[in-house]
Amino acid sequence: MQHKGIHKKDAYWLGFIALLTMLPMVPAVTANSFHMHVVILILLFASMSQAWNIIGGYCGQVSFGHSVFFGIGAYGAGMAVVTYGGMPWPGILIGVVLAAVVAVVISYPCFKLSGHYFAIATFAIVEIFHRTFLVWDWVGGALGLDYPLVKEGLTNLMWYDTKTGYYYCALVLFLLIFGTVRWLEGHRFGYYMRAVREGQETAESLGVNSTVVKLAAIALSAALTALCGAFFAQYNLRVDTPMVMSLDMSMKFVLITVLGGSGTLVGPLLGAAVLIPLQEYTRAFWGGMGGGVDLIIFGLLIILMVVKQPAGMIGIFYAVRKRILKRNIAAKGESADGAP
Amino acid sequence: MKHRSPRLKSWILFMAVIGMLLGFGPGAGSLLAAEKIIKIGTIFPLTGPVATAGQRCQAAVQTAVEIINNKHPEIKVPLAKQEGILNGYKIVLVHADSQGKADVGKAEAERLLNQEGVWALIGSYNSSVSKPASFVAERMKKIFMCGSSSSAALTQRDMKYFFRLAPTDATESVDFVEVLKWVNKKKKGSVKTIGVIYENSEFGKHAAEEAKKAAEAGGFKVITDVPFTPGATNLDSEVQTLKKANPDAVLGAVLGADYSLWVRTMKKANWKPRIIINYCSGYQDPVITKQLGADADFFMGSSGYSPQFASLMPAVAAVEKIFMTKTNGVPFDGNSIQEAVAMLVLAQAIEKAGSLDTEKVVKTLYENTWDSPLSLGGKVAFAKGGQNIKAQSIVTQLQRGEYRRIYPEKMADGKIVFPMKPWDKK
């Protein structure tokens, strides 16, 4: 029976919040480091994809260039530790600010392009940065940056014997980015972004400055992405260009969000929650067999999922909700007819 | 009874697949834990641009394990005549795919050590993967045997649990410069200038740096330095840069399929220097060499093994027979054989230590010189930092599809063709 005081939408939100409150307890439930690794990656990739979702989902500008910002964040943290022998925190801050500045500078001309042309331009930007960083000795070039063995803990943002520290950092990152996007959804700026997505000319005719909105959206998206990149570097204790600043990495931002449900708050989480375990467990189980069996199975599962539900995981969620609602209505109808 | 809709059924099927995936995921192998076994993890690039090389490295470790676990009186390598080690312990391999990526290699090293409970690791072919993966092992005080990664930096980290069998790109660079001096002396070669082409990776960049250092120390002038992105689809501009500079000699650090592309692009550009010497690379790959046919001829490179070394390493033939059953008839190459040696030396050290105490085995590894009939020179010994100081390689030249031993002269079985014949005169 539905309580009159609780609206259905509120019930879903309460469920989501309940899920979030349980997240801090995960390390107590599983001490298994591989499962912890998978959960950390889910939180990280959900956060990365949510950061992309700001510009790609809410603002409708499909960018394949986010690995550039991710890489800038990773190099910021990596250089602070490896090149300058300090703590990662100042590097993270510099990386976040720099990523936002770079995003604005490179996006300003690109936003004059629309649709597919914008996407193609962002592809090219990744390639330019990728090749530049590969030959740039100051950032480690092709050798990359390998972290030294330093004291573990929050000060150096690295842990060796346990993943619990990384888990809580990933959780904070997740809450920060999801919280920001949730706040944006109800904010005037969020409406501006959606207006630009639905029709730039229409939005402009209503007084929305689409260029400013898009630049602000990509700056925010890039800054949050850089934060994720810094965490990725601290987690892997290595930064190199193919790892953090590649088309491969850029595709992950898009794939997870589209799979989960673009332009929705829970979409990136759903996408990461499905895609990351699939990627990690297929590799763990079948990777050693060689011949890419794991990648074939992984690919087939993605195809199956996309064919079954083109709207993404969020589409499945809506379909299930619709089915439950229908069943409830049918049950009420039967009760009204006096059926048992 | 209610009938489920076809849509629902297909979703149930889909979720069942996911369930199977998770249920039989990592950890399923722990059933073996109660048996008298030693689990060893392997991490190689089984997919990606250097997958064939990685798969052969994996097959080499499997071959070594087959010899260790079973009686093979016909094979003349240590441990072949007995069954298992430590009075009946058998080695069980747990394989992982690094995809040639550093982050994946690191994650797999953690999974193998924490989840699968492997006792030691072997890998990872790519130096950029060996580095973070061995870092994980070092932190967890577990042995990491590295067969073929050649970046000199790997053994300059002063790690305690890391051991590398192959010669480094630093020693190879010195050898290459010696070859150039020898050519100048012997053949009145007048090689003065050098060009370096390398993939922009941990391996390539290090090789190029060592090449430049050794060249300058040897009195040669490096006049061009050409990096390229691994997995390139086009090397026209890189080859044109080399052609324009026209160095007398080229030193190459070009892996896998990139090597074929490089050779074919040079043919297209109708240019060759007087001599080309390669680091452990596509040059050593017998499959790539076969694919290139006559175009591969007269290129040179260093190698720890090729089938033409049979007279120097008579014990290899019987081992190679087993190996070839796993690789569809492809013989050992200089890289894969080092991975077999890594496994065999580790097993010998466990046997000699008489214990599975990692500290004891590490101490034993450092304190002894190991018989290794699968190694050129027949011995293995480790210096501080884990480098095999007995590692040797021979500079060979491909002549009619065969690796002819050229340098050092005392090990030669052929004469160098110098300068390389032009593309149109074969």
Distance CA B366, CA B363 (A): 5
What residues does B370 pair with on adjacent strands? B380
CA distance B399 to chain A (A): 32
DSSP B422: P
pTM value is 0.82
For residue B35, name the pLDDT band (cuts at 50, 70, 90). confident
For residue A25, name the pLDDT band (cuts at 50, 70, 90). confident
The widest CA-to-CA distance across chain B, in whole angstroms, is 94
Share of chain A above pLDDT 90, in %: 47
Distance CA A193, CA A210 (A): 8
Chain B, 321 to 360: residues with Cβ < 8 Å from chain A are none
Q: Which residues of B40-53 are buried (b: 16+ CB within 10 A; e: fewer)?
A: bbbbbbbbbbbbbb
In this structure, the strands spanning B275-278 and B249-253 are parallel
Residue type, B248: D
Q: How many CB atoms lie within 10 A of CB B100?
A: 28
> What pLDDT is attached to residue B26?
44
Where are the CATH 3.40.50.2300 domain residues in chain B? 33-167+311-380, 170-303+393-411
Distance CA B291, CA A97 (A): 50
Q: Does B10 or B349 have the greater pLDDT score?
A: B349
Name the residue among A33, A146, A281 with its Cβ closest to that of B131: A146
Query: pLDDT by residue (tens digit) across B286-328?
Result: 888 888 999 999 999 988 888 888 888 999 999 999 999 999 9
Put simply, the answer to whether B206 touches A143 (Cβ < 8 Å) is yes
Do residues B62 and B93 touch, judged by C-beta distance below 8 A?
yes
Say what the ipTM of the complex is: 0.78
Residues 6 or more apart whose Cβ sits within 8 Å of residue B299: B263, B276, B278, B283, B397, B398, B420
Structure tokens at B56: 């052969």
Residue B247 has pLDDT above 60, yes or no: yes
Put simply, the answer to whether A295 touches B47 (Cβ < 8 Å) is yes
Distance CA B181, CA A314 (A): 68
CA distance B391 to chain A (A): 24
Q: How many CB atoms lie within 10 A of CB A67?
A: 30
What residues does B38 pair with on adjacent strands? B91
Do residues A245 and A226 touch, judged by C-beta distance below 8 A?
no
Put simply, the answer to whether A238 touches B131 (Cβ < 8 Å) is yes
Q: Which of B189, B203, B255 is nearest to B53 (CA)?
A: B255
A contact set with B (CB within 8 A): 32-34, 37, 130-131, 134-135, 141-144, 146, 149, 160-161, 232, 236-238, 240, 242-243, 277-278, 280-285, 287-292, 294-295, 301, 304-305, 308
Share of chain A above pLDDT 70, in %: 92
- HEC string for B7-62: HHHHHHHHHHHHHHHHHCCCCHHHHHHHCCEEEEEEEECCCCCCHHHHHHHHHHHH
Query: pLDDT by residue (tens digit) across A129-161?
Result: 998 998 898 999 888 898 988 888 999 999 987
Which superfamily, per CATH, for B170-303+393-411?
Response regulator (3.40.50.2300)
- CATH annotation of B33-167+311-380: 3.40.50.2300
